[in-house]
Copies of this chain bind each other. A is one copy, B any other.
């Protein structure tokens, strides 16, 4: 037996990443519509290198980001009316990934093709389907998000790249008790009130709902900047987890003025959409929008809301990336659970189940 039996390439193959690390047979958020204009967009999703593009007549497509000729990323190419043209030797691919033109050559070999992904643009969100071998084509419609079409709300958003696995973002979003420590200068307010707020966790199918009410609490800076509260407020936080995204709807009314259980409650509302899509096993995209209902000076107040949201989300990014870097540094050392982990742990069980683990 010699050391030659160890083939380094073989080792690499064993650990080569692919989509099978993640739940398949579901729609993921690939991009916000505003990202996809005249240039293609290179984005690794679920360990696969995808190019998203919009044809000159407005249709969205998603292909393997690699020309079958000499492997140039197709994201360096140019969208045309019928498809995406490679920027090296001009091969043209249609939405199905088939090569439909090789400049200077009459015959197009049948092997001239690239992988294609089902995509659907809806509610200003571009959804992508990563299927299992059993379901390469979608067996359901992407989730809807009507807030983006609601005239009572303004919204804006951004895409964050995370040096952390996507489930750490789920954990963070499902546990708003960290507001008092991480976000003490923005949306936090008093730490004790957050920690002691009664938290209700409910699961319906693959959906987890966490609700917290903080009655008679001091409104945080983001709230008072955007809305003319008179003093103490009754505040709610409603988090709904879906495997592809979270909806976090928070807000407040003046204390003791109305029931915050009423779906038609007034006051200040923040409706957050939080697409959380794995890039690789160790990195993620966080594609968010924040909608709000400012009563006066709507444009200006909305700008304030978005600025405050960015400050807040930057604080989370710092914490989550530091957390993951530390998890890698310390290896498989055990962690302990505390009371705030109830929602996050349910979401982790759902993801585990969807992966078939």
Contacts and interface: CB of A to CB of B under 8 A. Distances in A.
A3 interface: yes
Given A70-B323, A177-B104, A326-B73, A338 B195 contact: no
A338 to B, nearest CB: 6
A344 to B, nearest CB: 9
Tallying the copies of this chain within the complex gives: 3
A33 to B, nearest CB: 26
Contact of A181 (B87, B326, B333): B87
Contact of A326 (B65, B103, B171): B65
A334 to B, nearest CB: 8
9 contacts: A3-B11, A8-B14, A49-B330, A70-B323, A72-B323, A88-B323, A89-B177, A90-B181, A102-B339
The size class of the interface chain A forms with chain B is 35 or more
Contacts of A91: 338
Which of A76, A195, A338 is most buried by chain B, counting CB atoms within 10 A of its CB?
A338
A319 B71 contact: no
A335 to B, nearest CB: 6
Interface of A: 1, 3-8, 10-11, 14-16, 49, 65-66, 68-73, 76, 85-91, 102-105, 109, 111-112, 171, 175, 177-178, 180-182, 191-192, 195-196, 318-319, 322-323, 325-327, 329-331, 333, 335-340
Given A68-B335, A69-B336, A181-B90, A3 B7 contact: yes
